[in-house]
Chains A and B, each alone.
Chain A
Amino acid sequence: MTAPARRPAARPALLPTAALLAGAIYCLLPVLWVLIAATKTRSELFSTFSYAPSFSGGLTENVRGLFDYSDGRFVRWARNSVLYAGVGAALSTMVSAAAGYGLAKYRFRGRTLAFNILLAGVLLPQITLAIPQYLLLSKVGMAGTYWSVLLPSIIYPYGIYLCRIYAAAAVPDDMIEAGRIDGAGEGRIFRSIAVPVMVPGLVTVFLLQFIAIWNNFLLPFIMLSDEDKYPLTVGLFTMINQGVQKPALYTLVITGALLSILPLIALFLFLQRYWRMDLLSGAVKR
């Protein structure tokens, strides 16, 4: 009952291939559109067929226009997005790692209660929190600062949940015991034993939170009033909704949209091998 030594080349399965291709085209449609639209100048944008790219130098003109807009505001927005997402995700991962490890590896009273309260946090609508957060931060004079967007982003219940699962599955109890026997303190054990093992899970949490913060619109929209502190999402939104006395510069907005999605796409492609997405389905194999 053994398989033959050499298998003949299998015929490609047509239906799955066709379906996957259709799905890929559907998903790429708007991305392709924005790529091509960014190459068009203002007069070409609405007068030529959408999917016909323009080679008359529209792209360079648009990019230059975008960077010139309001004294380089776009660059500031991009920098802000990197700041909010990078620092926010980093801090969030550290907090989640510690909390997840604590919940997974220690038995203490109230452990399940703490975990359930945490999960309930995932279920709260963001807007329910954003408005009182805004009012409270206003009271202490912090509304509209960088911290007003960073601090609420650090607590990431879902990240703690993922870290807990990963710590439970990936960090062997016997290694921890061995560490204790050797006299290491708990913090030391966490740093030297648990964290290195948890790295793939931590990278996943970092990436998920980075993307979530990068793409977040509501929180910075409510917290910030100063355009120089906006991330890309809010900045581009205001570029479209400029009120009646200013023309919406669609070519610049489109180019801005293109430039703002490129970093994330690059991040994905580059870090594909480090994801541990099976965390999310609750089934972790070490």
Chain B
Amino acid sequence: MRRRTSLVKTALAAVLGAVLVAGCSSSSDTGDSAAPKQSAETGPVTLTFWAWAPNIDKVVAIWNKQHPEIHVTLSTQSQGDTLVTKLLTADKAGNPPDLAQAEYQALPTLVTGGVAADLTAYTGPIKSQFTDSAWQLVSFGGKTYAVPQDYGPMMLFYRADLFTRFGLTVPKTWDEFAAAARTLRAKDPKRYLTTFSAGDPGWFAGLAEQAGASWWSIDGEKWKVDIAGEPSRKVASFWGGLVNSGVLQGQPMYTPQWNKAMNDGTLLAWPSAVWGPAVLAGIAPDTKGKWAMAPLPQWTAGEQKTGLWGGSSTAVMAKSKHQDAAAKFAVWLNTDPTAVDALVTQGSLYPAVTAGQSTPALTKAPDFMPNQPDFYQTAKQISGTAAAVTWGPDVNVTYTSYRDAFGKAIQAKSDFATALSTMQSATVADMKKLGFDLAGG
């Protein structure tokens, strides 16, 4: 018995030791590697790139052909939240990729994790090629951490044929929008003008941006969180009133039911972004040529403002051993005319670089909307009116809170503005727990 128990004891001790060793090596802080590495690049370099944009492998292939000395290996990844976590973990373990596609709202998380490298030295020359709004998405505290890739200014898509049938005019203000919604319901109780989605926080964030909301802002060395401020409340109450009284639908987007509704005309309009036609083509194939695009309705007549929905950038990882080469590739991918054209034609992306917005592929109408030949000219104009947005360091917490709070509000038919307060407290609590300094408490 004694021999067996001492064997068990030794085994347990070994396990404990292994666990402690594993744990201890994780609590050491990662070294400050924000300064760009000026390593002499001798010999061919291989870069790893984690991305998911459609057909980005074809764009990467173009680079690889033109630059045999810097070979980029693509690894197609799952999107958004989980990818960011995997980047953070890989960085902690010391083996992140060299480059990664990062959605704009995920960048601050990567920056505060020390994962994204400071690219200010490389991006100085190209800054002028982007609008201020686009550049603000990748800059914090005067430093730039990524190169903007694509851009999602919001605009309204509507069924031109059904609008004619029901005698609706394209709304120019949100009041007109509400009126059109009511008229439609009165004429055909089976249809709705559109749906409010509790499953798409980025969509709502863009609408709030249009109203002038600034969910996160920087006040010196402190963060300011204002999710439940006046502009956002205005937007929330507007939609809440319409949904709770049954004038608008309250079902999530991107479900089979939503696909069907968009395809068979149960829903007539869709506040979306410039990449809308590609999605419509996939989900509502029977409606080709029937959709038209107009700027979003405004809060004040005559204004021209819009928000942003979606879009990502290319970031270089701080622990990459080839930051020079990686930065070169990131800049090329998003500013070089050949690359941008490929991104547009192959990936259906709307480029953030201003010159790219008039690339040859964007001079004709999108495949799905042949009825609107000046689609991209209008889009470019709208794109210039987009608000400047700052994202906070824990957007995922806010987004999850949006889904939970607004889902509950729709189901309970309660005030949407209260959902905003829930989001605000969740975000503030998380930031405080992490130890961020918040202005105004």
Point out residues on A near B: beta carbons under 8 Å: 42-43, 46-47, 70-71, 108-110, 113, 134-136, 138-139, 141, 143-144, 225-228, 238, 241-250
Contacts and interface: CB of A to CB of B under 8 A. Distances in A.
A138 B92 contact: yes
B278 A248 contact: no
Nearest 4 pairs between A and B by C-beta? A247-B282, A46-B260, A138-B93, A109-B4
A138 B259 contact: no
A226 B309 contact: no
Contacts of B310: 243-245
Contacts of B152: 245
A132 to B, nearest CB: 9
A247 B283 contact: yes
Contacts of B25: 139
Given A43-B263, A144-B86, A238-B79, 8 more contacts: A43-B285, A108-B4, A138-B92, A143-B89, A225-B82, A245-B275, A247-B278, A250-B256
A47 B280 CA distance: 16
Interface in B73-106: 75-80, 82-83, 86, 89-90, 92-95
A144 B22 CA distance: 19
B202 interface: yes
Most buried by B among A43, A46, A228, A238: A46
A135 B22 CA distance: 10
A108 B80 CA distance: 53
A110 B89 contact: no
A109 B1 contact: yes
A220 B420 CA distance: 35
A242 B310 CA distance: 13
A250 B282 CA distance: 9
B436 interface: no
B68 interface: no
Given A46-B264, A141-B95, A249 B76 contact: no
Given A134-B89, A138-B89, A225 B285 contact: no
Contacts of B202: 244
Contacts of B260: 46-47
A141 B48 CA distance: 15
B112 interface: no
Contacts, number: 97
B62 interface: no
A245 B86 contact: no
A98 to B, nearest CB: 19
Contact of B279 (A70, A110, A247): A247
A139 B57 CA distance: 29
B282 A227 contact: no
A134 B279 CA distance: 34
Nearest to B54: A246
A274 to B, nearest CB: 37
Given A110-B4, A238-B78, A46 B278 contact: no
A43 B94 CA distance: 48
5 contacts: A43-B263, A47-B263, A136-B22, A226-B77, A228-B76
A247 B281 contact: yes
A141 B95 CA distance: 7
B75 to A, nearest CB: 5
A246 B1 contact: no
B283 A138 contact: no
Most buried by B among A113, A135, A138: A138
A250 B259 contact: yes
B166 interface: no
A248 B259 contact: yes
